[in-house]
Amino acid sequence: MKNLAKKPQIMDLTALLQNAGEVDPVRFIEKYRTIRGKGFKIVGEGRDYLVDFYRYMCIGALKDRKPTVVVKGRQVEMTEAALNIALYYLCNYKFFTTLHSFPRDSQVSRFSTQRLQGALRDSALDSDRNPMLMNFLADHKNARNTVSGVEFKHSSYYYMYSAWGEADALRGISADLLCRDEFQDWSGSAVDSTDACLSASPYKIEFSFGTPKGTGSTFNDLWDNSDKRYYHTRCSGCNNLFIIDLDNFLYGMTIQCPRCKKEQDKRISNQTGVWVPSKESRNCLRTGFHISQLMSPMMSREEITRKQLEFSPMKFRNEVLGDFFSGSTNPLEPAKVIASCCEPYSNEDFAHQIVAPKQTFMGIDWGGRTDINDKGAYTVVTIISKDRDKYKVEFTKRITYNDYLKQVAYIKELIRMYNCISVVADIGAGAIQCQMLQTEFGDTVKSCYYSANLKSKYVYNNENWMISVDRDAWLEEVIDIIVRANIIIPWKNNKDKQWFVDQICNTRIGMSEKTGNVRRKYEKEERKMPNDALHSLNYAYIASVTELGENAVGSPTARQYGQALPTSIGSNFSGSRHNGGAGMSKGMQKLQTRFNPMPNISRDTRGR
């Protein structure tokens, strides 16, 4: 149960509205917006918790003068709400600037071209059958209407920027309303870049929202500093106010009052509910709203139950309940990786070529994407070098065309340009491509087979130049290298590098009991999103170990990332090539005798 202040403090925003004589944002939105060809409904459809939220954001926040934070489950229409709030101000105020910022460039263009332009174009029609919101746009000759900015009448502007790719542009914008979307993925320096945006504004409306991840994040701090308002639905039997939770949400849309036990439809009970702060609002720096999928009129109990069964505990807590989760099973978060592995190298960029004696290692994850199947993954190539005691990503590329002959030709070119002395490529989707590369480069190129139940961590077959590896043992090491910031990801011109960080972070730790003993298994966090970059990096890491042996970066010791695991798990990964070979697998010993004593071969010319 949430800790509630003894006397609920219920804000009477309706009265505030009448006093202020303002345009009611709820009436404004319902009048002008449409959704899927129908009127946009906020009142009486079960999402009535948004009524007071909108009124707070459009009227209450001006009075309170505090930043607002919304912590929410996925798919609860909050980006749409931010758009509505922005439109309300832009259409009702003069000389008003909104800055809506996202962590990713792709999110900006998607929002701008689909959501904003769609909302304007598909707004309710006036008597001449013109979309009414279009009438609020500036109509002078030089009016601005681009992906990153739309000009409204009376010198009001809606700007949309990415907080990383366009941080410099952001610093120059003076805004009245700042919407920080997907806030859980904002890095520290991205937050800094919007810090001064509101300083010159008479309104200063700051609105940060997102779906929580682990505790201890900046987002978590914002929430902890807020008054944490939870929506209390009202029992139609006894007037009792209660929060919808997993216990009282029974089936379909039916909830049960914990006091009088009456079963009722949440869409009806939500219509008379209220927001209740769980801390004294006047003692808090921020106003906070919590929105879970349990409240949503779109979510049935059955759908919630399905997610409970299919999602990891963390994903369920984060994306359905909208709660921060302390026992994180996701070892990598983009914001943290960027802070530790990328931003310290913001003056460095990828290399255009590498010249001997410097040497590099390449990993290739072949994509299953073909002309016929456009749903598969792209081929990803990653080239790393050893830079003192760290690895450095010298180059990485998503190959977006399907023609494998063209792909192989391009990779051959990269092997030469970057002086790659060892290449490891997955054989699953690339047996033919591997052979083509081996025809030219010999055993510099090794194919790699991921195995889930291999006795040793690494087995090399000298006959066919194929490595079999214990998939999760190697992934664990490469993830550990990233967690410990032992990898340099050059961050200059980083617009084209964000995908790499997103992909390597799309990882969670699961459990496997297949071989009898429980052990960690590394899976995708978002099943629909790719993680080929992580695998190409893993192959590049394996390629480096085949050459460097004991001099490779990394530590194979098992670690738990804060999650309680059975103690037996660690023993799966106890073999270490760094501790003198006592725990070294046979495959690793074979590997070392095979590759290490080769002092007289000049690697930079081999195979060219």
Give me the residues that bind Zn ion (CB under 5 A), please: 235, 237-238, 240, 257, 259-260, 262
Q: Nearer Cβ to Zn ion, position 276 or 445?
A: 276
What does R_g of the chain's alpha carbons equal in angstroms? Answer: 28
Q: Nearer Cβ to Zn ion, position 125 or 260?
A: 260
Q: Nearer Cβ to Zn ion, position 233 or 385?
A: 233
Distance, in Å, from the CA atom of 103 to the CA atom of 180, rounded to the nearest integer, reads 8
Which residue, 45, 30, 26, 42, is CA-closest to 267?
45
Q: Nearer Cβ to Zn ion, position 235 or 489?
A: 235
Beta-carbon neighbour count of residue 15 at 10 Å? 9
- What's 12's DSSP letter? -
CA–CA distances in Å: residue 435 to residues 353, 408, 427, 446, 586: 25, 10, 10, 9, 26
Token code pair at residue 177 = 């309303």
Min dist CB 343 to Zn ion, Å, is 52
Min dist CB 52 to Zn ion, Å, is 21
Min dist CB 208 to Zn ion, Å, is 35
Min dist CB 227 to Zn ion, Å, is 26
Q: Which residue has the tokens 């979309």?
A: 131
List for the chain the helix, strand, coil content (%; round to 5): 35, 20, 40
Which run of H or of E encompasses 587? Answer: helix 586-595
Min dist CB 8 to Zn ion, Å, is 16
Min dist CB 250 to Zn ion, Å, is 14
Min dist CB 266 to Zn ion, Å, is 13
Q: Nearer Cβ to Zn ion, position 165 or 273?
A: 273
Min dist CB 240 to Zn ion, Å, is 4
Token code pair at residue 533 = 């970059």
Sequence-distant (≥ 6) Cβ neighbours of residue 348 within 8 angstroms: 488, 490, 491, 492
Task: Report which residue type is found at 68.
Answer: T
Q: Nearer Cβ to Zn ion, position 240 or 592?
A: 240
Evaluate whether 322 touches 72 at the Cβ level (below 8 Å).
Answer: yes
- Dihedral Cα 261, 264, 270, 274, nearest 10 deg: -20
Token code pair at residue 353 = 């070529």
Distance, in Å, from the CA atom of 231 to the CA atom of 279, rounded to the nearest integer, reads 14
Min dist CB 451 to Zn ion, Å, is 57
Number of DSSP helices (H) and strands (E) in the chain, helices first: 20, 25
Q: Nearer Cβ to Zn ion, position 28 or 242?
A: 242
Min dist CB 262 to Zn ion, Å, is 5
Q: Nearer Cβ to Zn ion, position 259 or 586?
A: 259
Token code pair at residue 423 = 């290449």
Q: Which residue has the tokens 């030089």?
A: 142
Distance, in Å, from the CA atom of 553 to the CA atom of 541, rounded to the nearest integer, reads 9
Q: Nearer Cβ to Zn ion, position 173 or 235?
A: 235
Q: Nearer Cβ to Zn ion, position 257 or 591?
A: 257
Q: Are strands 458-461 and 466-470 parallel, antiparallel or unpaired?
A: antiparallel
